[in-house]
Structure 1
Amino acid sequence: MTRTGPLSAITVLDMSQGIAGPSCGGYFAEHGARVIKIEPPEGDWMRHLGTRIDGMSSQAIAYNRGKESLAIDLRKPEGRDVALKLAERAEVAIESARPGVFERLGLGFEALKARNPDIIYVSVSGWGQRGPNRERPMVDTIGQAVSGFMSAARSREGAPVKVDVPFIDAFTGLYAFQAASMALWGKAKGSGARHIDISLMQAAAHVQAPNILEYGFVGRPPGLLNPPAGNYRTKDGWIAITLVNQAQFEGICRAISRADVITDARFTTVAGRKENVAALRAILDEALTTRTTAEWVGLFEKEGALASGINTYSDWLTDPHVQAVEAAPYYALADGGKVPLPHLPGQRRYDAPVPTVGQHTRALLAEVGMGSKAIDRLLASQLARQGGEEH
């Protein structure tokens, strides 16, 4: 595979599974790095979750394009030795197990540093490498819960809401790539190894930094930022309404033919609208069910107010603007099908294939000096797996 891009001279050893770690490795691949994915003989567990698309999950396609796959059991000495040899020639290593697991495998930071004194070692975990919760498991839902996010994302009835998109995992992968690529920036050979500690907990907090800051100052939840922003039923669906200034509030009132609300003493200030939000929402609820979403969007735009229909993914994919800018170009699958795949912001489409489990096992074992007979024995023992063609 010909590699181009700013990181084309970099080799990354990606020993992670799931979303956060593999997405970090995926960003390295998309920027030109050689990324060697070490996964168990049965494959990264994320390959098998959700809808099967060309034999794998959508997450596997999104985050593993352009990698080489070596399927080997890292719990065995044979797997550990291969990983250590690959680490000797890598600039970056990524793992996403709970703290202590890779140390027990003989593949922790100190073990890789002993083989490669300049390595950047990225540990992605739920709670981080230190603290009383370091060995507790965490997934995206738990991250949303413990970070306070669910306390801020509530239904009208006040129930905490879980967002069914693993955004904390996704942000964690971006933060990991940012930290690792910055650690590489201007790094001189011989300047020493670095262990980068990336946690879902810290990522979830960082994306909510203004809310947490405000809570620390006032000693209570921030509350509504800009009432009556929110989602409202229309005659045929839903509309999202928001505002950032008084003029837009007045535009909302004019759009629903309730100019009297502008001068209502309960609603003339943001503080007043916060205090009387239930009454304000009731006015909007009553008005908005009288027209369709499209009609309301037109009226809001005419009055300089901010509103949008609440799209499905189908709505978004067929939006003329999305199509005009090729925000989700089709990605060709090995089975002849194609799927829309949003490209990384600031980058062009990335069409590199996804490796099958162990597709490059034999070649990578040979690369670290293993002879063909030894490779055959390792494959026969089922401690390693040679896969088929790429997807």
Structure 2
Amino acid sequence: MPLTLTTPADHAATAPAAPAPRLHADFYDLQAALTDGERAQLGRIRDFLQREVAPRADEFWERAESPRHLFPRFAELGMLGAGIPEVAQYDNSALYRGWVALEISRVDASTATFLGVHSGLAMNAIWVGGSDEQRERWLGPMARGEIVGAFALTEPLSGSDTARGLRTTATRRVGADGADEWVIDGAKRWIGSGAFSDITVVWARDTGDGEMKGFIVPTSSPGYAATKIERKQSLRAVENADITLTGVVVPESLRLQRIHSFTEVAVVLRLTRAEVAWQALGNGIGAYEAAVRYTGEREQFGKPIGSFQLVQHKLATALGNITACLAMCTRVSQLQDDDAQTDAQAAMAKAFVSARMRETVALCREVMGGNGITLDYGAARAFCDAEAIYTFEGTHDMNTLIVGREITGIQAFVS
């Protein structure tokens, strides 16, 4: 008997007490690895996403606007900072947080990215690199959705080589009041939520010791300017920005006190990289579910196209990709829960899953023929969004080089 697709109509308007039902694409029931409590909370989140995000996802994508009005609801559901003990609303695992990323991206990859920047990158940067005082000051308001955070590492001339090629500088000096302060100069690009964030975690090279430092920069600071990047054709509902910093003065109290070099920054990236693999997986599942619905409804030659052998082959290939990726994501998150996940393991998950996602969304768009290029049938947005997911959090090539270094013991990055 075929599995039943989970659709918006399957969910009541109230939060379900029972665990979330199994997804059609979860062919081996890997969701069963979650606790009953995690599955119940996942069901509440799935219900919310289907009722309040899915109906307007295409609209926000076309308008190139983030669904900022939903930020308080994300906070109520414990979706902000769920992996940070100081602010998490309930006990949960990295595996559960991966499933949440999957569920969000399954409905809208832009929303998943929007939340990932705030909760994964900005909040984790403060949690990993901040002092106790900084954690107390910032993480609570961010978890409550009172402050929106962004994460500024990538630069116009520095993407994959940020570890060595960072051009933004921070110069320490004594201020007029006799206290230490920093002057930041430089530019950043592709900064998710940077067009409207309240604070941005800015990474800059210390002109004193040459090491990378992190700063919590209020976006109202004099000399800070953000310009929304227009004409994007992927993750359009993520409001990326070009940012310039011209003589931005930041007090020592806003320097992340536990960040002394790129080594600590890499810890933050490892925490989020595996979660981006889950996001890629969710984007592929969203396209797959749309394709299954479409092939059951669309008729050609007097019968549903789902009865054609070539169409079934494409759907089976897509499901095989999803199943393999779900198994990989499950294991890499279990390793994170055991505090045993390595950079190479996270990098392999992101590289492999995003590549399989690319193939999956292409197959799913293909079975829809010409209809597949419109937003009306559920695959076009996933198809376009796949390109950005494939590229960010380390390009495919860079992540494979991290894995290659682990395999051979030889550094193959350009020196």
TM-score of the superposition, structure 1-length normalised? 0.26
Look at both structures and tell me which one has the larger radius of gyration over its CA atoms: 1
